[in-house]
Structure 1
Amino acid sequence: MSAGAARPAPGVRLMQKVSSTRAFARIAPHFVPAMDRAVHRLTRGRVILSAQMLPGVVLTAYGAKSGLPRTTPLACMPEEGGASWVLIGSNFGRPGNPAWTGNLLAHPDAEISWKGRDIAVRARLLEGEERAAVWEAALKFWPPYATYQSRIEREIRLFRLERRGA
């Protein structure tokens, strides 16, 4: 960390350690999204509980096979200017890409709920040098992504969501 760089708050450092464990990877996919969906629904889109640690969106993508809308609360990395967000398909460091990544590959037009606002977006899988640069930013943003990547053989998918019409 460079001199003068802000250190994460103690609660954030603790959450980074906890979220890097294999136990968290086993349990979190079963309770974090369900809890986020419930709180998001109860607050009419104003709150995502896990966004108290990391910024978050609720992604509505269309099923790769069914074409039906699929809603998934996700941590995101907002980019400067407010016109784009990066989604990291870490799946908590578990094998297999999360289903939402396959949905975005099949149907890149999606919607997100961001801070209580519904926004139409188009997703783009990041590759090559662009992916490498965003991955480095993601590791600074949330260091546990490095642990997730070290546990799996697949390359974690990164998507940039850009406002449609922007």
Structure 2
Amino acid sequence: MSDWNAKVIEEFRANDGKVGGFFEGLDVLILHATGARSGLERITPLVYLKEGDRVFIFASKGGSHSHPDWYHNLKANPGVGVEIGSGTSSATAVEIVGEERDAIYAKQAAALENFAEYQAATERIIPVIELVFD
């Protein structure tokens, strides 16, 4: 885990899910995934979108031309842990595709301009993942 992620996670846990800096004012969760190759727990802070009872995360990697490592981990091991606020839940990561993916991504891009910029910066389609809680 990077030092930056470790600091964000520490702040998240100390403040019931609220963080400052880059994530200030955003909905942030902590994703617990199992490494695709290592089998080790990988913990990542991510911005999420809540639509009713549904929670979505976005494999944007800041508009990079490759998917983030955590996306590959979810494809190999879709069972995850999720910290939102001060609670922790189990969920299954399900990739959303097609028109539904496009509509959800458009909502996120309309709410947070960075996400429109991320998609414009890459030729890959940024995956949208729904976290389906147990």
**Structure of greater Rg:** 1
- Per-residue displacement from partner, 1:100-143 (whole Å, max 9, x unpaired)? 11111111110100111001011111111111111121112212
Whether 1:154 aligns to 2:124 is yes
Q: Distance in 2 between matches of 1:33 and 1:149?
A: 23
Aligned residue in 1 for 2:49: 77
Aligned residue in 2 for 1:65: 37
Structure 2 unmatched runs, 5+: none
- TM-score normalised per structure 1: 0.72
Q: Distance in 2 between matches of 1:31 and 1:151?
A: 26
Residues 67, 110 of structure 1: alpha-carbon distance in 2 compared, 3 angstrom cutoff: same
Paired AA for residue 62 in structure 1: T
Whether 1:109 aligns to 2:79 is yes
Whether 1:119 aligns to 2:89 is yes
Whether 1:129 aligns to 2:96 is no
- 1:99 Cα deviation (Å)? 0.6
Paired AA for residue 134 in structure 1: I
Q: How many residues align?
A: 131
Whether 1:99 aligns to 2:62 is no
CA contact (8 A) 1:55 1:77 kept: yes
Q: Which one has the bigger strand percentage?
A: 2
Post-superposition, which runs of at least 4 consecutive aligned residues in structure 1 deviate over 6 A?
Answer: none
Cα RMSD, aligned residues only: 1.8
- 1:35 Cα deviation (Å)? 2.6
CA contact (8 A) 1:58 1:112 kept: yes
Q: Which one has the bigger helix percentage?
A: 1
